[in-house]
Amino acid sequence: MSRQPSVLPTMVGVAMACGFAIALVFQATAGQIERNRSELLEQAVAEVLPGVANMRGYAIADDALTDAATDQARIIAGYDQTGSLVGVALPARIMGYQDTIRMLFGYDPVSERLTGFAVLDSRETPGLGSRIGTDPDFLASLKGLDVELAGHALANEASLATRGAVRAPWQVDGITGATVSSRAVIQAINDTAPALAAIRAQLPVLEATSKVRAEATEGNDA
Amino acid sequence: MPEELLKGFWRENPVFVQALGMCPTLAVTNSAINALVMGLATTVVLIASGAVISTIRQRIPKQARIATFILIIATFVTCVDYGIQALDISLHAALGAFISLIVVNCLILGRMETFASKQPFLPTLFDGLGMGGGFTLALLCLGSVREILGAGSLFGIQLLPAGFEPWVVMLLPSGGFFVLALWVLVFNRLRQPNPTGAAETRGAI
pLDDT in tens, B118-135: 888 989 999 999 999 999
Cα–Cα distance for residue pair A59/A56, rounded to 1 Å: 10
Among A2, A4, A7, A39, the strongest candidate for a mutation testing the B interface, having the largest count of B CBs within 10 A, is A7
Interface test with B, best of A8, A14, A98, A120 (most B CBs within 10 A): A14
Question: What is the domain count for chain B?
Answer: 1
Burial of A104 (0-12, 13-18, 19+ CB in 10 A): buried
Query: According to the model, what pLDDT value does residue A210 have?
Result: 62
- Residue with the bigger pLDDT between B138 and B161: it is B138
The pLDDT value given to residue B205: 40
B-chain residues near A123 (CB < 8 A): 96
* Residue B87 is assigned to a structural domain of this protein: yes
Cβ atoms A101, A122 nearer than 8 A: yes
In the structure, what pLDDT confidence band is assigned to residue B196 with cuts at 50, 70 and 90? Answer: low
Residue B174 lies in a domain: yes
Across the A:B interface, residue pairs with CB atoms under 8 Å apart total 74
Residue A153 has φ and ψ, to the nearest 5°, of: -130, 165
Q: What is the ipTM for the molecules in this complex?
A: 0.77
Asked if residue A219 has pLDDT above 50, the reply is: no
Asked whether residue B175 is domain-assigned, the answer is yes
Q: Count up the domains in chain A and report the number.
A: 1
Reduced to 3 states (helix: H, G, I; strand: E, B; else coil), residue A100 is strand
> Following CA atoms B28, B29, B32, B36 in sequence, which dihedral angle do they give, to the nearest 10 degrees?
60
pLDDT at A222 over 50: no
Bridge-partner residues for A114, per DSSP? Answer: A107
What is the pLDDT, as a whole number, of residue B204? 44
At A105, the pLDDT band (50, 70, 90 cuts) reads very high
| Residues of chain B positioned with their CB less than 8 A from the CB of A18 | 71-72, 74-75
pLDDT at B200 over 70: no
Distance between CA atoms of A156 and A170, rounded to whole angstroms? 7
Residue A120's H or E segment, with its range, is strand A113-121
**Residue B205 domain-assigned?**
no
Q: Which residues contact A71 (CB under 8 A, 6 or more apart)?
A: A37, A38, A41, A57
pLDDT of residue B194: 64
Whether A3 has a pLDDT exceeding 90, the answer reads: no
Q: Which domain holds residue A139?
A: 33-221
> Is residue A25 included in any domain, yes or no?
no
Task: Report chain B's mean pLDDT, rounded to a whole number.
Answer: 85
Give the model confidence (pLDDT) of A23-80 as tens digits.
999 999 999 998 988 888 888 888 888 888 888 888 887 777 888 877 778 888 888 8
| Rounded Cα distance, B11 and A34, in Å | 44
* CA pair distance B147, B32, nearest whole angstrom: 6
pLDDT tens digits, B2-43: 788 888 888 888 888 888 888 888 888 888 888 999 999 999
pLDDT band at B53 (very low <50, low <70, confident <90, very high): very high
Query: Is A18 part of a structural domain of the chain?
Result: no
Per residue in B108-120, pLDDT tens? 999 999 888 888 8
Q: Which has the closest alpha carbon to A24: B153, B79, B86? A: B79
Whether residue B90 is contained in a domain is answered as yes
Asked, for residue B203, whether it belongs to a domain, the answer is: no
Residue-number span of the structural domain to which B121 is assigned: 2-198
Please indicate, yes or no, if residue A6 is contained in any of the structural domains. Answer: no
Residues of B in contact with A36 (CB under 8 A): 85-86, 88-89
Which among A4, A21, A25 has the least Cβ separation from residue B61? A4
Distance CA B161, CA B181 (A): 27
Q: How far is CA B190 from the centre of its chain?
A: 20
A127 to B61: CB separation less than 8 angstroms, yes or no: no
Please give the pLDDT value at position A221. 44
